[in-house]
A and B are shown apart, each in its own frame.
Chain A
Amino acid sequence: MKLSATFLAVSCALLFACQTQAQPPNRLGAGRDNDAKGQDRGGPGRGQARDGEQRRQRGGMADRDPAQMVGRLIEQFDKDGDEKLDSTELTALLTMMRDRRGGQMGGNGERPPFARNGDQAGPKARDMMQRKRRNAGNEDATPGGDLPKRPLAE
């Protein structure tokens, strides 16, 4: 049974609200909502933050326009083109979100080589290694060496 847009709305609310509710309001001098209060409304995986397990949701999307984000998600995961996400499509979306959070919901838990205490591996660590590699030398260093660019013949 295909899910209605309302169900889609609720599902996405769960996903985005996690990020929203875990963040203190973006205003000066605002009281800091404690985690328990802010996350009572959270969904799976939410609760009191603990060392080594708290994860910030990483959408990996440079564009932060919410409407566009939702539109892209639908476009990306709506395989049958009915502008709705059925259970299969929603599962794929949630799987992607889980992977981006680095295995919080049962990832492989493998630690990156240079992880300090409290780390877990996953995309974040790989990103870190990528950054470290970039920043330690050539930005675009390729495994095995760089192919030089041949100048145009005169």
Chain B
Amino acid sequence: MYRIRISAILLVAGVVAPALADEPTAEQLKFFEAKIRPVLIRECYGCHSNESGNVRGGLRLDSRELTHIGGSSGPAVVPGDVDESLLYNAIIHEDFVMPPKRKLPQNVIDDFRQWIEMGAPDPRVNEVIEIRPSISEEDIEQAKETFWAYQPPVSHAAPSVNNADWPRTDVDRFVLAKLEENELAPADDAESYKVLRRLCFDLVGLPPTPSQIEAFADRWKSDPDKAIAYVVDRLLEMDQFGERWGRHWLDVVRYAESTGREVNQTYPHAWRYRDFVIDSMNEDKPFNQFVQQQIAGDLMPAKTDEQWAENLVATTFMAIGPKNLNEANRVQFAADLVDEQIDATTRVFLGTSVACARCHDHKFDAIPQADYYALAGVFANMTTYFGNPPSEFGTITNAQTRQSSSLLRLPIDDPNPYDKRYTAKELQDLRDEMAEKQREIATLGRGSANSSGNAANAQRTRLRLLNEMSMLSAKLGVVDEDGNPRSYCMGVQERKRPSDVRLLVRGEIDQPAQSVERGFPQVLCSVQPDIDEDESGRLELARWIGSEANPLTARVMVNRIWQHLIGQGIVSSADDFGVTGQPPSHPELLDTLAVQFMQSGWSTKSIIRTITTSRVYRMNTAYDRRSHEADPDNAFVWRANPRRLDAEAIRDAMLSVSGEIDFERPRGSEVAKAGFTRVTGGVLGNPRDIARKAFESAGQSRRRMQRGSRNQIAEEVARKITGQLNQEDAKHRSVYLTIVRDEEPRSLSVFDFADASTIIGTRESSNTANQALYMMNNRFVIQQSEAFADRVIRERTSPNDRLEYAFLLAYGRPPTSSERTAAASFIRDFASTTGFRSRSKDTINALCQSLFASAEFRYLD
């Protein structure tokens, strides 16, 4: 044994262990300057530096930090480890070929090897500096003590008012007191049918039925307060409530089923989150629990698998934002992802734009840059799942998708997964096809340097093969060995060994400054949480946001509820409760409602009931010149705000009135059916596949088609391809329409649908020619008008009854005498323009369409 040891020691005497110097010596730096830097400048900076404007492969080699970070394939240089240094790998032409088309001289390669082994000494370093905030601790303390939004909400006793007969609830007293203070008077009550219409659209997003109108009118006559309370309680129990108010929440959380941006990749499991939101609203889930689930549901204890699955699905909130999948630099992508999550979390729940402090201290709120990175440390320690699981062949993405992700396996199997089930043979065929494509791509050469045509062809073929392989891998990744599809969701998971992050000067990833301990923005958090070393702090963040200790959460949510019911928030800047936001018009009312919200068990329905049963809610919209001059924005709520219905309500109202609406919740979505694929030109997946299916569903072979019907079917197929995401044939509620970023359904986008790439607390409400043209010419509108007419004809017989019924369905009231006269005139004039056979039906169609296109149908008065 002794002899072995001696021999071994002698043996390896010649093996020189690489010296890993921590600090470069003068000689090492001299070596770098003489042997390495000139080569980098000459051979690499042209494609991999900031100055050149080129960052191929996401790799920059013009600073030590970025050289160590590397590009999309990994670190370029790992000090002391030649094997792991991709730069060396590339210059010896092992797995990469750099410089392209030629090899560096061997002595240069040897220099690089030596340099890496000696620890890659590199003077191109930004010194680790400490960024001092321009916002001092005193500034933060002062903001905490003086700014209204940072004070804990306090319940106030309802003020006394002069007109004591008017108020019905404390809400009325707060509003009336402010009106009287400004020498204004509240408007009269609206007519009963308008109140009912308002309640139905606000609570369930649908018009009232004629029987509901009649019943409400009777109750209103005897006791308006009880009539309203009765209707409110019924509407709050309907499943359509969750669909209506869930959609409001989906606006705020930037819900969509694709990444958006240049490479628009689908999220096939986003719909689970949509359903989670709708169900949570229907259950009246305590809002604080709802909040915590979305931020840290994966970390919350769950007693059952069902609860665990729900908690996981809730964290889709973190994963569902827009993403730049073609970002080559993985560190940049990760930083952008964290930034998007911080922005969403703080604006959605706290109405605070913490993300403004990514690059510098917040310009307006007392949030130093360090506070942003304290929060970034919380979010950076989680893995976000938004893509498709890798198959046994690995993660293979299409040519432009440089960033990818997997999915979480649900603890409970979905009984009806969308992904296809493969037989053993089909599975093997897929594997064989993949292997074949791998062989094919391996044999592709770059082509002769002198033959650009060959190289171009090879490149095109390579891209095609890559895309095909990515689709195959996507299919294989979601099934088990027997070909059975697995069940997945998007979401997040905590990483092992959490760590703090470093502040980035001007937000640049290659300019790290001091490390910042994980924590929460100081101005919002009176006592910083105690975050264990082995925890990210995300659960603590969720608990803090969803707690009574947080001054903002309840206020922000109550304000959103008020805005949806009254037309504008008490704080009109619903997503900004900071210094640049608007102050509350009724601060005591806001605080009182916020406290009530928390004390009710964070019940959204209770606040809705409180507001809708107030007298404020049932005022009419009548214009008063004096009041308008004093308060043109109606901030003091001297009347009800006339409001245009949002896009979903307009579409659902047409379906409801026509009798075609399908109340059953559809399963999944078009994106779920299409699976993990790229959206191009408004099409999910391969247009040829869609065309083939469309022809099959037409049910006729080309040979048997007559010329006329061939054209018709061709048009139908073309419409199915180009209008796939418009979903004009869908009859279910609009909240279930597939929402693909940048390809929203026309029926929604024309009426100011929320931009799914950002947080939208308040939608625009425009009145444009496009909308009018849509209502006049769109195929869906015309179809619904025809169905509306069919219903009127079917359910009423005489022309007068039909006219009255049509008005009742569309407006909630019978026509006035002048409207009857105008309708009669219209019918007479229109009839003369149509053919004899279809005159009656066409005329009623046109009448119904004109009702749909009118302002009264689209507005809540």
Contact = CB atoms under 8 A, between A and B. Distances in A.
A32 B633 CA distance: 81
A37 interface: no
A25 interface: yes
Contacts, number: 222
Contacts of A135: 70, 72-74, 330
Contacts of A70: 8, 11-12
A17 to B, nearest CB: 6
Given A51-B93, A137-B395, A145-B409, A9 B446 contact: no
A70 to B, nearest CB: 4
B445 A137 contact: no
Nearest to B17: A64
Interface bin, chain A: 35 or more
Contacts of B445: 117
Interface of B: 1, 3-5, 7-19, 27-28, 30-31, 70, 72-74, 82-83, 89, 92-97, 103, 106-107, 110-111, 113-114, 117-118, 298-303, 308, 312, 330, 383, 385, 387, 389-392, 394-395, 397, 402-409, 411, 438, 441-443, 445-446, 469, 477-478, 480, 486, 488, 491, 493-494
8 contacts: A9-B10, A32-B107, A32-B110, A135-B74, A136-B330, A142-B390, A145-B406, A145-B407
The SS class assigned to the A binding surface is loop
Contacts of B303: 153
Contacts of A54: 92
A86 B308 CA distance: 57
Given A66-B17, A131-B74, A136 B3 contact: no
Contact of A119 (B13, B95, B299): B95
Interface string A112-154: 1111111100001100111111111111111111111111111
A148 B315 CA distance: 12
Contacts of A154: 301
A130 B442 CA distance: 18
B31 A28 contact: yes
Contacts of A124: 94-95
B389 A143 contact: yes
Contacts of A12: 8, 11-12
Nearest to A30: B114
Given A12-B8, A19-B15, A135-B74, A146 B302 contact: no
Contacts of A74: 4
A20 B302 contact: no
Given A5-B7, A58-B83, A137-B404, A146 B385 contact: yes
Interface string A60-78: 0000111101110010000
B216 to A, nearest CB: 47
A144 B404 contact: no
A144 B408 CA distance: 9
A56 interface: yes
B94 A119 contact: yes
A110 B366 CA distance: 60
A83 B5 CA distance: 11
B444 to A, nearest CB: 10
A26 B397 CA distance: 41
A144 B477 contact: yes
A67 B8 contact: yes
A128 B95 contact: yes
A89 interface: no
Nearest to A134: B74
B389 A23 contact: no
Contacts of A71: 8
B312 A148 contact: yes
Contact of B15 (A16, A30, A32): A16
A110 B488 CA distance: 35
Given A67-B5, A136-B404, A125 B95 contact: yes
Contacts of B383: 138-140, 146
Contact of A150 (B110, B308, B469): B308
Nearest to B103: A51
A96 interface: no
B15 A116 contact: no
Contacts of B397: 136
B488 A145 contact: yes
Contacts of B27: 28-29
